[in-house]
Amino acid sequence: MSKTAWVFPGQGAQVVGMGKDMCEAYPAARKIFETADEVLGFSLSGLIFEGPDEKLSLTENAQPALLAVGVAGATVLREHDLEPDMTAGLSLGEYTALVIAGSLRFEDAVYLTHKRGVYMQEACPPGEGAMAAVLGIGPGDVDAVCEKARAFGEVTGANYNCPGQIVISGKKAAVQEASRLAKELGARVIPLNVSAPFHCSLMESAALKLRAILDKVEVRPPSIPVYSNVHGERLVSASDVREALIAQVTMPVFWQKDIEAMERDGARLFVEIGAGKTLQGFGKRTHPHIPYVRFETPSDLADVVALTKEALLR
């Protein structure tokens, strides 16, 4: 029997209006957004549904917003008797996956992702850091140009998303130098519009602050396999989960490894839950023979149900 994986996007996927149709169509989804509002003490749902975009895109808001949209979508699928065999999330999306796997309470995850966003923004003053997507060269070449560019400051591979796409992160001058060197090797480089240089050592203070509050939150072993961004393998114990959530703040995201590990363990259908289709794009580059289906609006439900049932029969 083939297995189904549910996957959840990270920061950058947010868009004003995401989840609104789901909220209006399903009381269970609406309850998720109401709970997030209660935890944070302000109308996160209003920000998600109505904007403005510049406020929703603030790291401290975008992270719990994407969490809420992902959990709402997964809750609706479960109401229709669908369950994942395994799950993973890109960066922030790992929190969503852990909620789905019963490792974190939704309320705790809302609080943690909001504070995570605050801490990550505080870790590096605006304008000092940068990130850029490097397209068309392999990880060895990316690592080599980053090593050469460290004469200008910290820079490292931050997101190993799929074959031919790696994001680098670090001090602005070092990212610019690494970008120049990558172009000399034939790469296409796209500077990213981000508020801070995520997934590098410049986030160390954020990791320390996050550990202090995570230590006060109950964490349980996942009830289904959850694959870690840090190493691409399963998180088994509660301590595994805690350490992975701290490590991912300063460590690269190995999303391609996650996808390859889930395929190795039997995943033959990937359901991308939440805003956008970024993960579907990465997946098609990693394993074009495996189908993806999105669950973003109620109109997507029939396709998700049909493809999940089809996967069960393989």
Which residues are the active-site residues?
A: 91, 199
Report the C-alpha gap between 246 and 222 in whole angstroms.
17
Report the C-alpha gap between 211 and 208 in whole angstroms.
5
What residues contact 109, with CB distance under 8 A and at least 6 apart?
A: 67, 71, 95, 96, 98, 99
Report the C-alpha gap between 155 and 214 in whole angstroms.
27
User: Do 110 and 36 touch, CB atoms closer than 8 A?
Assistant: yes
Residue 247, burial from CB neighbour count under 10 angstroms (0-12, 13-18, 19+): middle
User: Of 105, 82, 102, 77, nearest to 274 (Cα)?
Assistant: 77
User: Do 50 and 2 touch, CB atoms closer than 8 A?
Assistant: no
Continuous H helices in 41-171: 44-50, 53-56, 59-79, 93-100, 106-123, 139-149
User: Do 70 and 61 touch, CB atoms closer than 8 A?
Assistant: no
Phi, psi of 263 (to 5 degrees): -65, -45
User: Of 158, 208, 198, 204, nearest to 178 (Cα)?
Assistant: 158
Tokens 């970008």 belong to residue: 179
